[in-house]
Amino acid sequence: MKVVSQILVRIPLILWAFIVIFPLIWMFMGAFKSNAEIFTSPWSMPTDFSITNFERAWNDYNIGRAFLNSFFVTVLGSFLTLILSIPTAYALERVRSKFGEVLINVYLASMMIPSVLGWIPLFFLLMKFNLLDNLWALSLVYAISHVPFTIFILVGFIGNIPKELEEAAVVDGMSPYGILFKIVTPLIKSGIMTVTILNAISYWNEFFMALILLQTESKNTLGVAMNLLKIDAQYDSAWGVLFAGLCIAVIPIIVFYSIFQRHIVKGMTEGAIK
């Protein structure tokens, strides 16, 4: 009965894995096929593993530039999120006051508000400050939008740190900033890695904010560029190029998540215990 129960549990997992993996395999195969080969033998292996589709997607359809733009906003947005969130989370956790409790509740409440409600006011705000079509401004918008989530995660990690360590540092003459960056920050490394990975994946895949706030084709991120490529593929019959573009957009996330998924699970587990 134990063996039967294990088999019954694994069957749905195997089916789900097949449903998820098969489209990816089909996409990778299509990236090496010509349009004629995609229509005549869509399920077979490519006869010639040519990288022509990748070259066309990278150079002719602006995927290369969009890849660099997405990399820029992802790295900068992740860095700005940590700069804004780590001191705030430390202050909210250690400096207990009525105002701090209210502020924590405000951060938590902001996570429940659909982001779509802020798109129009944000558009006009950035237009007023002449920050539309600006990758730096987009990175800042990404960072601020993920500050509540990042604070929510980091507060749990900081709460696990014994206050006696900080009190000993104060006795030794260390400043509050020294305590934050030399003692607290290294001890919450797992939490920082967890939120950084989750935020980076979110920034890389983001589409709507980039579509609204960016207006120049040379500044498009991967999500916007892939949407334009999808439209062009319908008229140019560039289906192999579309598959290649999808591979360029997906492969970094698959590799990144495969490398760091252990840190995500470890960080979420440690942060849940307080």
Nearest to 212 by CA among 141, 147, 112, 146: 141
Q: CA–CA distance from 3 to each of 7, 15, 16 (Å)?
A: 6, 18, 20
Q: What is the mean pLDDT of the chain?
A: 87
**Measured between alpha carbons, how far is 270 from 211 in angstroms, rounded to an integer?**
36
Whether residue 274 is predicted with pLDDT greater than 70 in this model: the reply is: no
Whether residue 259 is predicted with pLDDT greater than 90 in this model: the reply is: no
If you write DSSP's letter for every residue of the chain in order, what string do you get?
Answer: -HHHHHHHHHHHHHHHHHHHHHHHHHHHHHTTS-HHHHHH-TTSPPSS---HHHHHHHHTSSHHHHHHHHHHHHHHHHHHHHHHHHHHHHHHHHS--HHHHHHHHHHHHHHTS-GGGGHHHHHHHHHHTT-TT-HHHHHHHHHHHHHHHHHHHHHHHHHTS-HHHHHHHHHTT--HHHIIIIIIHHHTHHHHHHHHHHHHHHHHH--HHHHHH---GGG--HHHHHHHHHHHHHHHT-HHHHHHHHHHHHHHHHHHHHHHHHHHHHHHHHHT--
Nearest to 87 by CA among 3, 2, 151, 133: 151
pLDDT digits (tens, 9 = 90+) for 211-252: 999 989 899 999 999 999 988 888 877 889 999 999 999 998
What pLDDT is attached to residue 17? 87
Question: For the chain, first and last CA: distance in Å?
Answer: 38
What pLDDT is attached to residue 130? 92
Whether residue 6 is predicted with pLDDT greater than 90 in this model: the reply is: no
Rg of the chain, C-alpha, whole Å: 23
What pLDDT is attached to residue 265? 64
Q: Which position has the higher pLDDT, 273 or 224?
A: 224
For residue 246, the Cα-to-chain-centroid distance in whole angstroms is: 17
Residues 108-114 have a mean pLDDT of 84
Whether residue 263 is predicted with pLDDT greater than 90 in this model: the reply is: no
Most confident of 1-5, 44-48, 140-144, 193-197: 140-144
φ/ψ (deg, to 5) at 255: -65, -45
What pLDDT is attached to residue 80? 96
pLDDT digits (tens, 9 = 90+) for 121-173: 999 999 999 999 999 999 999 999 999 999 988 988 888 888 888 888 888 88
pLDDT digits (tens, 9 = 90+) for 72-100: 999 999 999 999 999 999 988 887 777 77
Q: Which position has the higher pLDDT, 10 or 79?
A: 79
Whether residue 264 is predicted with pLDDT greater than 70 in this model: the reply is: no
Burial pattern 65-104, b for ≥16 Cβ within 10 A else e, equals: bbbebbebbbebbbebbbebbbbbbbbbbbeeeeeeeeeb
